[in-house]
Amino acid sequence: MNRTVVISGGAAGIGRAVAILCAGLGDQVTILDKNEKTAREASEQTILCGATGAIGLACDVTNEAQIEHAFAQIYDQFGAPAGIFASAGIDIGGLIHEFSLEQWRRVIETNVTGVFLVCKYGLRYMLDNGVAGSIVCASSPAASVAFASGGSGPYSASKGAISALVRCMAIDYAARGIRVNAIVPGATETGMMWNNVPRDKISEMRKQLEHEIPIGRLAQPDDPARAVVWLLSEQSSYVTGSHLVCDGGILAKASISV
C-alpha cells in the first residue's frame, strides 16, 4: 500500500529533495508551500519521479485555517498521512537589541508555530484513522550551539523550541505507534543558507565554510533528505525522540584551533 507523505516547505531545498526521494519510493506526495506556483511545479516533478499521486497546495504554515483546510484536502484525496516532514522555516539574522518584535514574531510563528500546526493536524488524522506513522521536524545545529558569525538568537531559539517539542511528542505518541524525530542538517546549499550573506560575499563564504566543515564541503539537499527519508521509513522503526545529525561534522568540532 502506498504511503501518503506530507511535506511543509516542500517546494524548495531539503523539503523538495525529500519529496523527490519519497516519489521514487512510490509514495503519494503532498507539498505545502506559501507559493502556489512552486508547490504545483514541485508536485508535478514528483509525478515524473515515480509518485503514485501528488498535489501541491498553497499554504501559510502560520495560518491555522489554511493548515486545517490543507489536511482536509489531503485526506479527501489520499487518506490519512503516514509520514510528515515539517520543514518550512525562515532565518532572519540580527542582534537581539536591534531586533524588532515584528521580526521576532515572524521567526517564531513560522518556525515554531508552523511546526506545531502541521504536527497538530497531521496527528489528528493519523490518530483518528489508526495510522502508525512517522513525523520528522527540521531542527538545526543552532538548537545546540550559537553560530560563530553571531546574530542567530531568534533562529536558534526557534530551533531549540522545535527540538524540545520533538522530544515531548515522541513520548506522548509512542504508545499509538507514531514516531517523532528531528533532522539536524548542517550548512546546506539552499536559498535560505545565504539569506544573511551579502550576494557578493557568497562565493568567499562558501570557500571558507568548505575549509571549516570537517567533511570539506557544504551538503547538497539530497544529503539530509536521505536521512529524513530513513526516519520516515520502517527501517528506523525503533527510533523516536532522536536528533539525527547530518552536518558534515560541525557539531563534533571544537571551535578553537588548539
173 in active site: no
Alpha helix segments (H runs only) across 49-113: 64-78, 101-108
- Whether the CB-CB separation of 92 and 85 falls below 8 Å is answered with no
**Of 121, 155, 173, 238, which one is the catalytic site residue?**
155
Q: What is the largest CA-CA distance in the chain?
A: 59
How far apart CA 8 and CA 66 sit, in angstroms, is 12
From the list 6, 84, 72, the residue with the least C-alpha distance to 39 is: 6
From the list 207, 175, 202, the residue with the least C-alpha distance to 191 is: 202
How far apart CA 91 and CA 21 sit, in angstroms, is 25
What are the catalytic residues?
A: 155
